[in-house]
């Protein structure tokens, strides 16, 4: 009987304890570009530029705008990149249309 009560209490605890702040962060979401007639995304650099090359070009645009970006890729339509902050790499997200940083804590 005691074991059954203990198991029930342990099953309820995760729902009763508030989530830490890090677990309540939002996932950034940006609008994906339109697809062309062949079903490929048009990243704005012409029909023969794939996602990887488009990410490289956006990385160069971020660098030109003063962001020390590296290892840039797309995530949910946004630019996910690594930026050195205080000597450590930090993951940041940017809107590909405006190149503005998307804050994770809202």
Residue 28: pLDDT band (50, 70, 90) is confident
* Residues whose CB falls within 8 Å of the CB of residue 96, separated by 6 or more in sequence, listed in order: 30, 43, 58, 74, 77, 78, 79
pLDDT > 70? residue 3: no
- pLDDT for 15 beyond 80: no
12: pLDDT confidence band, cut at 50, 70 and 90?
low
61 or 3, greater pLDDT: 61
Name the nearest CA neighbour of 30 among 62, 73, 78, 75. 78
For the ranges 12-21, 38-47, 69-78, which has the lowest average pLDDT? 12-21
Residue whose C-alpha is closest to residue 91's, from 105, 77, 71: 71
Give the pLDDT of residue 60: 95
Alpha helices of the chain — where are they, by DSSP H?
2-16, 51-64
Q: Is the pLDDT of residue 18 over 90?
A: no
pLDDT one-digit tens code per residue, 44-102: 777 677 888 889 999 999 999 999 999 999 998 899 999 998 999 999 999 998 999 99
């Amino acid at each position: 009987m005691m074991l059954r009560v203990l198991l029930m209490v342990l099953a309820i605890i995760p729902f009763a304890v508030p989530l830490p702040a890090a677990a309540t962060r939002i996932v950034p979401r940006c609008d994906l570009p339109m697809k062309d007639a062949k079903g490929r995304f048009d990243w704005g650099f012409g029909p023969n530029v794939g996602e990887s090359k488009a990410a490289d070009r956006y990385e160069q645009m971020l660098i030109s705008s003063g962001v020390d970006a590296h290892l840039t890729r797309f995530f949910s339509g946004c630019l996910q990149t690594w930026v050195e902050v205080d000597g450590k790499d930090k993951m940041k997200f940017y809107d590909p249309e405006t190149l503005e940083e998307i804050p994770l804590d809202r």
